[in-house]
Amino acid sequence: MHRSPLQERRDLALGPGAELFYDDPVEIVRGEGCYIFDRSGRRYLDLYNNVPCVGHGNRAVAEAMATQQATLNVHSRYLHEGIVAYAERLCALHHDGIESVVFCCTGTEANEVALAMARAVTGQAGIVCSDAAYHGNAGLVAGLTEVGSDTQGPAGVVRGFPYPDCYRPLEPGASDDELCAAYLARVEAAIARLKRDGHGLAAFIVCSIFANEGLPRVPAGFLAAATELVHREGGLVIGDEVQCGFGRTGYWWGYEAMAFTPDIVVMGKPMGNGLPLAAAASTRENVAAFRRQTDYFNTFASTPLQAAVGMTVLDEIERLALVVNAASTGGYLLEALGSRLAGVAGVGDIRGCGLFLAVEIVRDLSSGEPDPAAARDLANRFRAAGILLGAAGVHGNVLKLRPPLVFGRDDVPALLEACDTVFGIRGER
């Protein structure tokens, strides 16, 4: 593949190995709503980016950013109305157990805070997560990345359980209830091993919709039952809402879509429409325990800038009715994709909630064997057809559709046409 002069310069400036999407990377210059434009002016429908949730180039956010930056932007050890009001508004969007907020810049930082908080509250060290989790790129949370089932993480305090999945279930042929019990038994076993080894249980941490795992269909009631189990065992439940929060699922929070109530919620990505902004929130008591133990301070977090931008993102989500849009447009898209791709070779499953959909690409329908090469190939073909999406999931075989929340019904036909082209070309081979 031809490498552009910019790509050559990038290799030196950022060091070789800085990831680029697609065999033929897109050079982007502008974004608007759920569209991205390349240098030649070509328009792409963005089905990948969840961060610009209220739209690429959203004017209200840009203006709030500029106004606050021109007025005041400084660290949090002075009193400032903005950040207090923003924290209050965020908490009011959650269940009653969410009263106090620790602001951070990235999801990694916020998950790190959540784990430290669970440890401060419980006095225990052990962590249970799924065997295909991703909660961040550094520190303790990086140790959670695909830790594997039943194995040990760093310092032996992290134990994985097999992520719940009705498509490739732990026990083929089992009923939903039986499956739920089977996965719960594995969580229970992970907790028992932590306790046997003297680590105790601090936290059970999950992405509320298991996004990194590939957005599996989860046996009904699993997360509510896991929450009960974790509480019985003395631990706290952390709902990582970095990918699924702020309306993505058609509910404000992924844990509402999945019907459970986490003790600590972690927010990030879409929270600032691109401004680094993340948070961990819980009861006043839990946050106080964390602050007592750590004296946590973050130069760029809890600032007037974060508050002004975060507030405006909430305003825009409400003004544009994006939670409802995610539910209705997401449902419409799921149905439309379902009928368009019914019977298409290689399409094993289509699922998701709100504006977060997954198309499972497999070698053949009977085995359900993942086909990551085909998924990568499809992503490249979609890019050529003017649609930006990615392949994800633990096997890398799941096409992930996760557009800005301003994606509407009018944007669906272009995607369906591209499906014809992309899957059609593939069918003719």
State the burial class of residue 396 (Cβ atoms within 10 Å of its Cβ: 0-12, 13-18, 19+): middle
Question: What is the nearest approach in angstroms of its own copies to the Cβ of residue 28?
Answer: 5
Residues in Cβ contact with 116 at an 8 Å cutoff, skipping those fewer than 6 apart: 290, 293, 294, 296
Segment interacting with its own copies (CB under 8 A) among 6-14, 229-237, 314-322, 366-374? 6-14
Per the DSSP assignment, residues forming a β-bridge with 387 are 45
**By C-beta, is 91 or 179 nearer to its own copies?**
91
**By C-beta, is 109 or 349 nearer to its own copies?**
109
Give the N- to C-terminal CA distance of the chain in Å, as an integer: 22
Q: Does 14 bind its own copies (CB under 8 A)?
A: yes
**By C-beta, is 206 or 275 nearer to its own copies?**
275
State the burial class of residue 287 (Cβ atoms within 10 Å of its Cβ: 0-12, 13-18, 19+): buried
**By C-beta, is 106 or 183 nearer to its own copies?**
106
Choice from 2, 17, 41, 428 touching its own copies (CB under 8 A): 17
Show contacts with its own copies in window 141-170 (CB under 8 A).
155
Structure tokens at 372: 């990551």
Choice from 181, 288, 414, 416 touching its own copies (CB under 8 A): 288
Segment interacting with its own copies (CB under 8 A) among 3-11, 187-195, 257-265, 337-345? 3-11
**By C-beta, is 155 or 373 nearer to its own copies?**
155
Choice from 19, 96, 410, 428 touching its own copies (CB under 8 A): 19
Element housing 401 (H / E): strand 398-401
Structure tokens at 359: 């198309």
**By C-beta, is 276 or 396 nearer to its own copies?**
276
**By C-beta, is 68 or 249 nearer to its own copies?**
68
Residues in Cβ contact with 232 at an 8 Å cutoff, skipping those fewer than 6 apart: none
Choice from 47, 53, 98, 109 touching its own copies (CB under 8 A): 109
Q: Using the 8-state DSSP alphabet, how is residue 273 labeled?
A: B
**Between 295 and 324, how does the x/- string for binding to its own copies read (CB under 8 A)?**
xxxxxxxxx-x-------------------
**Strands of the sheet with 127-130, listed across from one edge:** 100-104, 278-282, 264-267, 236-240, 203-207, 127-130, 158-161
Instruction: Using CB under 8 A, count the residues that bind its own copies.
Output: 93
Question: What is the nearest approach in angstroms of its own copies to the Cβ of residue 354?
Answer: 20
Q: Are 97 and 261 in contact (CB under 8 A)?
A: yes
Question: What is the nearest approach in angstroms of its own copies to the Cβ of residue 10?
Answer: 5
- Of the candidates 329, 107, 383, 307, the one whose C-alpha atom is nearest the C-alpha of residue 115 is 107
Question: What is the nearest approach in angstroms of its own copies to the Cβ of residue 116?
Answer: 8
Show contacts with its own copies in window 64-93 (CB under 8 A).
65-67, 69-81, 83-84, 87-88, 91
Q: Are 131 and 147 in contact (CB under 8 A)?
A: yes
| CA 25/CA 13 separation, integer angstroms | 17
Question: What is the nearest approach in angstroms of its own copies to the Cβ of residue 54?
Answer: 12
Q: Are 327 and 408 in contact (CB under 8 A)?
A: no
